[in-house]
Structure 1
């Protein structure tokens, strides 16, 4: 069974804009419009106060690569045929708006980890605080969305098992475990980054 590391459920910009999402109903895609992402997201994540040196916050590249692998497997599942394909599309439908939120404020703070682990803290790191504060505020909703995603993954597992598609069943199982890792490791890490920066900068 594949594991998807210590990182969140999903998806850097390349995934969120990938053609596979075109099969979703427009209403499902519109669900993500409450959260402004993509270009605006990265502008928000990288914009520092006028009096501070600009610093780039970016999602770590290993996460992007990992998410691309997840995308590829999910896309294959949507083309598996039968009820398995339908269930995979249902997973994508509930995953999409959640992934937009993660890209906006859950993943970029992780880009500060190497600098912080080296003991480097600078005033321009304060720009991460709106992101980590928002994640802390939205955490109950994010966890509630996880329950919906995991339920959809369970239905995918059942369909894949019934149609003898073990690779899809294993993928769904690994992705559910990935969500748990996200809850226990990734989100808390992002929030702690914000709290540590506040402490060091006296915010």
Structure 2
């Protein structure tokens, strides 16, 4: 699969078994320029929205930096979240199982991924301002999912059994349609 357009000209996410998804990411450099950060974030959001994703971590596009984006649209109208060099400050002891899928594991999902109900994170926003965020429920789940990517962990690693992994035919069909559309667009004009 291709990588983000700043790397190879494609807006697709890396897929398993790509080794970059299993590597621990490095901190975003302190001397990153606003232009580089803005370009990376713009292209990450474009990549995520192109496939109706809700979150994306930099390693999923081949950039091994500690950075993720999240757009859970809750509450409606709230701005998307950018978190650079995040660190977990606190996690609730209450564990809930819930539904997750992943742009790097297309066609599968699970309703039994265990996550803390609440989380508190600190890091930097897109303006490189220090922020502390607290979330619960689905937003906390999304934050934990994306944070795991920064450490080379996928949601399937958290399942207690492979039986908890479900195939989603609609996702497979969507992926097949995307491939067919891409092939049609790239076909030589006769």
The TM-score by the shorter chain falls in which range?
Answer: under 0.3
Question: What is the TM-score when the length of structure 1 is the normalising length?
Answer: 0.24
Higher strand fraction: Structure 1 or Structure 2?
2
Q: Is the radius of gyration larger for structure 1 or structure 2?
A: 1
Higher relative contact order (CA 8 A, sep 6+): 1
Question: What is the TM-score when the length of structure 2 is the normalising length?
Answer: 0.25
